[in-house]
Amino acid sequence: MQYTKEQLNSILKQPGPLDLANVDLGGADLNGANLQGAYLVGADLGSANLTGANLTRALLWGAHLKEANLSGANLGGAGLDRADLGKADLSGADLNGAVLKGAKYDQNTRWPAGFDPTAAGAIFEGTRKS
């Protein structure tokens, strides 16, 4: 199920951590959204705009984040285990304490300056630039 902008706005106003497991939010505009502690396991966030979103301690295990814009997002303490980060833009994101064990990324994934995704447990899948 894909949500309309009005439905998304209503959901985001709910108190407490949100349960959005396996929800299709592909292409959604979640710029600056407060998703702190949200349960986004298996969610489709492909091509979503999560610029500046608060995803502190959110659980994104196995989430589809391919081509998502997470620039400037706060992912401190977030669980990104086995997430698909191919072509995702995480430039300027706060990944302090984030768990990326088994998360997949490619040569087009953009990371914060100085961040080493392999050391954080992420797995490179793609073609290395020569």
CATH class of the 1-130 domain in this structure: mainly beta
Domain boundaries defined on the chain: 1-130
Residue 99 contacts residue 79 (beta carbons within 8 Å): yes
Residue 124 carries which DSSP code? E
Say if CB 1 and CB 25 are below 8 A apart.
Answer: no
Cα dist from 90 to 5, 72, 85, 104, 125, whole Å? 24, 7, 9, 13, 17
pLDDT in tens, the chain (130 residues): 567 777 877 888 887 789 999 999 999 999 999 999 999 999 999 999 999 999 999 999 999 999 999 999 999 999 999 999 999 999 999 999 999 999 999 999 999 999 999 999 999 997 766 5
What span, in angstroms and rounded, lies between the C-alpha atoms of 21 and 9?
A: 17
pTM for this model (two decimals): 0.90
CA distance 76 to 56: 5
Q: Which of 66, 62, 71 is nearest to 101 (CA)?
A: 62
